[in-house]
Every structure is written in C-alpha cells, then in structure tokens.
Structure 1
Amino acid sequence: MAKIKHNNFLDTVDQVITEAKAEGILHLRAEDAYLTGRQITVNGIACYHFGNTGYLGLEQDERLKIGAMEAISRYGTQFPLSKTYLAHPLYEELEEKLELLFENPVIITKNSTLGHLAVIPTVVRDEDAVLLDHQVHWSVQNAAQLLKVRGVPVQLIRHNNLEMLESQIQKLSSKAAKIWYMADGVYSMYGDYAPVKELIELSKKYPQLHLYFDDVHGMSWRGKNGMGYVMSQLERLPENVLVFGTLSKTFGASGSVLVCSNKKFYDQIKNFGGPLTFSAQLEPSAVGAAIASANIHLSDEIYSLQKALNYRINYFNQRLANTRLPLIARNSSPVFYIG
C-alpha cells in the first residue's frame, strides 16, 4: 500500500474545510450578547446548541463565575511566571482538592494538548515502544510524533481492536522495555469507550504493557466524585496506568490534570515536563473557577447532575430511535456521531 504523503494529507484537510466553510458549516461566530449554554445565535438564527462539551452546564454555574471573578480581583488577570519556579497562591488549594477528588497524586497542566506534550516525551524512554488507538485524540497522536526523532517505534492500532493490540505486543516484547498503549477513555468522535477492564487484564498478562488514557470527555459526568469514565472502571489506579482528566469541558473551568500513582513518573514529570517549565501557568480566574467546581465534585450534588444528564442521554437515544438519522454508535455517553 502506498504511503500517504504529509502534504497530500494537509491538502485534503484544507480542501474539506474550505468546502465546509463555503457551505456555512465551519468557522462560524456566535452573535449573542450573553450565552446560556442552551441556545446560540449564528447568522441571525437562534439555534438550539448541541455542540457544547460542557455536558453538565457547570461553565454557567454562578459559583464558578464568582470564583473566577474573586480570583481576578485578588490576584490579577494572570500570574506570568513558570509554575516550575513559583505558583500563584490558589494552586495549592486546587491541587489538594483534586487529590481528594481523584484519590491519587495529580499534576495540573495548562490544557490537555500541552499536558500530553509535557508527559509523553518524559515517561516514554528511548528503549520503549508506543501503540496508538486509531481514534485516540489528535493531541496524543501529535505528542507521540515527537518520539519518532528519538527512534521510538510508534504504530497505529485499529480502533478498540484487542486482537491486533495483543499481536503487536507479542512482536515488540523482545525489542522494547515498555510498550505503551494510548487511547481515549471516551472517544471524542464516536462517543464510545475504551475497553478499560480488558486492557487492565492484558497488562497483567504482559507486564511490559503500560496504559495512557486521555479521559477528558469522560470527566465529571461519570464516576465517584466525577473522576471520570476510566477511573470508574478501576478499583485502584495501577502504577502502569496514567490518566488525563480535564478542568475545562464538563468540569467548567480551564486546564487539565494528570492522575499518576507511580512516584518515579510523577517526580520526573513534575521536575521537568517541557511545557510545565516553559509555558505559563493557569490564570487565577481559571484556578478560582476550578476550585469552585472541585467543591461541587466533592459534594453529593455531582451525583444529582450526573443523574439528570443520564436521563437526557436516555431520552435522546429514545427519540433518535424514531428517526432515520444514521447514528454510528448507540451508547450511554453524551457524545453522539450522526453519519
């Protein structure tokens, strides 16, 4: 099979997006004076808004808004310094609350894209190998590309294909010290799930296997304290499993969070994870809002919010079943892919 050249790929993407812009589908602007998360105005038309990844609506919660405004009032619009050198005063409180929420050590990052760029090149060694689920988020795939210049093998696995994954593990087992499989907890395109429990069993069969999950679309609406889909599938977080959650999207604030029980990995990332050292830290407003959201997650209110969303998901599935719309995968997540 002929290889697809990178420029050919970019040209195709550019053509598709250019045509979508001409059809009025992409590069749009919201025209509202205020946003509620329910409706949005585009080209003068008031529309119901189903493209929002704030699945619980926390970005409109007054407590998060107040937390953000009070943080700005006390600390300014930004704290322009690397967190490796000095964190602004609110960070410690947020980290303590997130460690209660996830019941494990955490590292806060500016966003998931920079987080993956900080973590993946740090934990993956030159003698390791990486296997990527075909549908894993672009931010993970992009960070993994940096490994190729170091000679680390990086290969794609068909989506959720455990048979193909095991076959590749067997081929790499004599060549690699660790074999990393990288996947989404909840996939952002199809809304389906990673087979977390099966992957854990596979890692017991092959101790070289380490698992890296981007679970930003599984956060808040699932699991104890809203700790996410992946964590909800685990009795405890093994040392060979790293999980990325989010402080944006459903959490309602901004930023991302790595959950890591492996002390060696934790120390290495904390000491020097590229963007953690060379990028700005979260703005005080984002940390203030995240603290307010963490308080909600640590209360019983999060379960009421989860229950209400689950009711809407079930209702949507019931209504959709009466249409001819081509739903690619029927599932219980708030992400739906209409073909």
Structure 2
Amino acid sequence: MKDYQKILHELAANGSLRSLPHAVHQGKWIEQDGQRMLNLSSNDYLGLANDRELRNEFLDWLRDSDCPLSSSSSRLLTGNFTEYEVLEQLLAETFGREAALVFNSGYHANTGILPALADKQTLLVADKLVHASIIDGLLLSGTSFLRYRHNDYEHLEQILQKETPRYEQVIVATESVFSMDGDVADLNRLVALKHNYPNVLLYVDEAHAIGVRGSRGLGVAEECGCLQDIDLLVGTFGKAMASMGAYLLCSQEIRTYLINTMRPLIFSTALPPAQIAWTTFLFRRLPQMNVRRQHLAAISRKLAAALQGHGGEISRSHIVPFIIGANEDCVLTAEELRRHGFYCLPVRPPTVPKGTSRIRFSLTADVTTEEMDALLAYIFENLEEKFGNTTGKTI
C-alpha cells in the first residue's frame, strides 16, 4: 500500500503542502480569519464577476425566460439547447471564422481537442511553459510529442525542419499570454513559421488574453491581426469573461470531426443553458469595455516596473510574477502580504520550476490606482529589506 501520509509529511517539510483556502468573497475583497484583503490572485481580469449592475440586468432577463438551470444531458443527446447554437454562431461571426464549438472548461478543451485530432502520423510540438492542461492533452494523445524552449522560435523552426517530413501533420501548441510568467507569445512569428510548412497546424490557447487584449477584447490574436491564421484558436469563459466553459474557433470540418471523436465533449453533461446565456450576455458587451482594458494595462505596467529584477521584467500582461526563489521564503512573503491587506498566494513547484517559487499577482480592472500605489509602497519596502533594491527606484 502506498504511504500517502509519508508523502504528505514530505510535502509539508519542503513547503509544498497545499490546502483549500477558506475565504468569504465581497466583490474585489476577500475576508479570511477576520481580516479584509484586496484580492490580487483572481482571474476576474475585467472585474465583471463583481459587477452587480450587469448581474442584476441578466437575472431580470433570466427570471422572465424559460432558460433551464441544467442541461441534464450531453449535447449529443438532449443537451444541445438553442443557447449553445446562439453563442457558437455569435463567436464564429465575431471572430470571422467558419465555426465555433463550446466546451465545459478550458481543461476539457485542451485535454480533448489534441487527443481527438492526433494519431500515430501526428507530431505534437508545444512550448516548454504551456499550461498543465495542454501537457495532459499531449500525454493523453498517446502519440509523439516534443517541447521547444519557451518562446524560442529558432528552436521551434529547427524541430519543424527536421520533423515535418516524417509526419502527416504537426500541431504546434502555445498559450498567447502565459499563466505563470505573464509574458506573451509572438503569434505573428508563429503564423509565419506555420505558413512555411503545409502540414503544420497552429493551436493557440488565449485563456488569459480573451477579454483583456485587442480592440474588441478578442485576445492577442486580434491585437496581432492574425485571427484568420490560427487553425485552432482556444479560449476560456471562466476568467475575464466571468462565466464558465471554453471555446474553439476552427474550420467547419474540424468542428464536425470533434463532435464525433472528442471524448470530453461526447461523454460530459453539457453546461446549463442559463450559464451559456450569461456567457453570451457578457460576450456581446466586450467591445464596449476598452476603459477597463486600458486601466488594467496601466496598473499592470506600474507593478511590473516596480518589480524589475524580481520578475517584473518578464511580464507583458496583467499577470506579474514576483519571483522569491525558495518555497519557504515564498510562503512567508505571501503571509506577510496578507497581513498587510493584500490577498496573494504562493506558487511553488511543480507548477513552476524548482527555485522560482513566486507570488503571482493576477490583476483585475477593479483594482484602483490608489490601491496599486499602496501595494507598490509595501513591495518596495519589502524588496529593500529582504531582497535588496536592484532597481534603484523609489515610490
């Protein structure tokens, strides 16, 4: 019998034991153990989940509608309600793509699409720092896969030059905004590489970009002007979109193929139609949210600048790492931040490489400039006192 208790003791000894935090949510604030803290670990990037006006407007509509609170079935049986079809048509038209397909979560999408499309004549190639769900998709595919050095497109090209003649198809997978470092893939470079190889498909996960990047909030692909050039464009509704589920923009052929082969889609009860209607309600409003996007970008740049030399120089987004190093130091720093009213959580291996434990600041548009200034004042003192002021800046 496996000694689970021993493993738990070992995790605790090296500062890696995790537990589910108990907290009471009050908009952008979290109350824990009698303390009220600013939530700086949320994926509610646009602050939509905390917007009572939007929520009440939707609930007024829902009360007068016949929209069910459960689908009670998979989509292939009786769970394919009109709400799904409306959302998928809206997605396809807005992105200017042939087809869209909605899934229960980003994890479902990444662990279902890649195994469905891949076979023994397929090579999967992924950025070294892609999300765990994409890694699991690679493993579940049961086919060959390789990893290229993070955002190293010369390394990727070397792989493609060598491997594309040996396979019927090659699928290159990346995130657009990376979830732990907050840096951004060069999608135009990837598209250019893809066009050099007729049997290469490009798979881009915009989970942390949809809603917050691009003039209409359609992600980094919109920002880069390559919405039409990415074969498999994936995103989630559970972050900036303040809902649940995920989507794929693709060709009609691939959509039909996935409906017939993708196990997480075929064998899962579909999301509630009311949830899909809420997603549609919010998605229609994304183009009008530029003020929120601009404010989020401004406070993110400010935080990244303050953390130069400690992870801020890596970030190009609203995700800003504060790299501490050792697990124990990271946990203690997170505890200190919480004592000072900032709800931040430590991120440790295996989520990030050994020796790079960090506070992952995940900013939202409802954090005010004054609140950001208060955080920066504390961080600067903490940097000077604990890690040395490498920036030479003052606040």
Q: Same fold (TM over 0.5)?
A: yes
Give the superposition deviation at 1:28.
1.4
2:88 aligns with: 95
The one-letter code matched in structure 1 to 2:71 is F
1:158 aligns with: 149
The one-letter code matched in structure 1 to 2:206 is D
2:118 aligns with: 124
The one-letter code matched in structure 2 to 1:232 is E
The alignment's C-alpha RMSD in Å is 2.6
Matches within 5 A, 1:253-272: 253-260=243-250, 262-272=251-261
The one-letter code matched in structure 2 to 1:99 is A
Q: Which of residues 48, 52, 63 is equivalent to 1:58?
A: 48
The one-letter code matched in structure 1 to 2:177 is V
Bigger relative contact order, structure 1 or 2, given CA contacts below 8 A and separation 6+?
A: 1
Q: Which of residues 248, 262, 282 is equivalent to 2:271?
A: 282
Measured in 1, the distance between the counterparts of 2:103 and 2:310 equals: 37
Give the superposition deviation at 1:316.
2.4
The one-letter code matched in structure 1 to 2:157 is E
Deviations 1:258-301 (A, max 9, x none): 111x232122113332111110111233212212201211x4x2
Measured in 1, the distance between the counterparts of 2:85 and 2:196 equals: 39
Give the superposition deviation at 1:168.
1.5
In 2, are the aligned partners of 1:80 and 1:280 still within 8 Å (CA)? yes
Once the two structures are aligned, what percentage of the paired residues are identical?
Answer: 21
1:248 aligns with: 238
**Does the alignment pair 1:311 with 2:298?**
yes
Find the residue that maps to 2:165 and give its secondary structure. Answer: coil
Is the alpha carbon distance of 1:184 and 1:65 closer, same or farther for their aligned partners in structure 2, counting shifts above 3 Å? farther
- More strand, by proportion: 2
Give the superposition deviation at 1:183.
0.8
Deviating more after overlay: 182-191 vs 206-215: 206-215
TM norm structure 1: 0.84
Measured in 2, the distance between the counterparts of 1:70 and 1:16 equals: 48
Give the superposition deviation at 1:232.
2.4
Q: Which structure would you say has the larger Rg?
A: 2
Is the alpha carbon distance of 1:134 and 1:216 closer, same or farther for their aligned partners in structure 2, counting shifts above 3 Å? same
Find the residue that maps to 2:147 and give its secondary structure. Answer: strand
Q: Which of residues 106, 109, 114 is equivalent to 1:112?
A: 106
1:231 aligns with: 222
Q: Which of residues 35, 54, 72 is equivalent to 1:80?
A: 72
2:320 aligns with: 336
Measured in 2, the distance between the counterparts of 1:220 and 1:189 equals: 18
Is the alpha carbon distance of 1:157 and 1:269 closer, same or farther for their aligned partners in structure 2, counting shifts above 3 Å? same
Is the alpha carbon distance of 1:144 and 1:295 closer, same or farther for their aligned partners in structure 2, counting shifts above 3 Å? same
Find the residue that maps to 2:26 and give its secondary structure. Answer: coil
Give the superposition deviation at 1:311.
2.1
Measured in 1, the distance between the counterparts of 2:9 and 2:248 equals: 33
Find the residue that maps to 1:249 and give its secondary structure. Answer: coil
Is the alpha carbon distance of 1:236 and 1:221 closer, same or farther for their aligned partners in structure 2, counting shifts above 3 Å? closer
1:168 aligns with: 159
The one-letter code matched in structure 2 to 1:135 is L
The one-letter code matched in structure 1 to 2:321 is Y
Deviations 1:160-194 (A, max 9, x none): 11122112112212311111111111100000011
Is the alpha carbon distance of 1:60 and 1:43 closer, same or farther for their aligned partners in structure 2, counting shifts above 3 Å? same
Find the residue that maps to 1:75 and give its secondary structure. Answer: coil
Deviations 1:95-127 (A, max 9, x none): 232223322221110001111232112222320
Give the superposition deviation at 1:70.
4.8
The one-letter code matched in structure 2 to 1:248 is G
Measured in 2, the distance between the counterparts of 1:247 and 1:124 equals: 25
Unaligned runs of 5+ in 1: 1-6
**Does the alignment pair 1:136 with 2:116?**
no
**Does the alignment pair 1:192 with 2:183?**
yes
The one-letter code matched in structure 1 to 2:265 is L
Is the alpha carbon distance of 1:330 and 1:164 closer, same or farther for their aligned partners in structure 2, counting shifts above 3 Å? closer
Measured in 1, the distance between the counterparts of 2:45 and 2:222 equals: 18
In 2, are the aligned partners of 1:192 and 1:329 still within 8 Å (CA)? no
Measured in 2, the distance between the counterparts of 1:117 and 1:69 equals: 36
Measured in 1, the distance between the counterparts of 2:185 and 2:74 equals: 34
The one-letter code matched in structure 1 to 2:322 is I
Is the alpha carbon distance of 1:291 and 1:18 closer, same or farther for their aligned partners in structure 2, counting shifts above 3 Å? farther
The one-letter code matched in structure 2 to 1:29 is H
The one-letter code matched in structure 2 to 1:305 is R
Matched residue count: 315
TM norm structure 2: 0.73
In 1, are the aligned partners of 2:181 and 2:314 still within 8 Å (CA)? no
Deviations 1:136-166 (A, max 9, x none): 0100110111122xxx211222111112211
Give the superposition deviation at 1:64.
3.7
Give the superposition deviation at 1:85.
2.6
Deviating more after overlay: 112-121 vs 185-194: 112-121
Give the superposition deviation at 1:79.
1.4
Measured in 1, the distance between the counterparts of 2:44 and 2:277 equals: 18
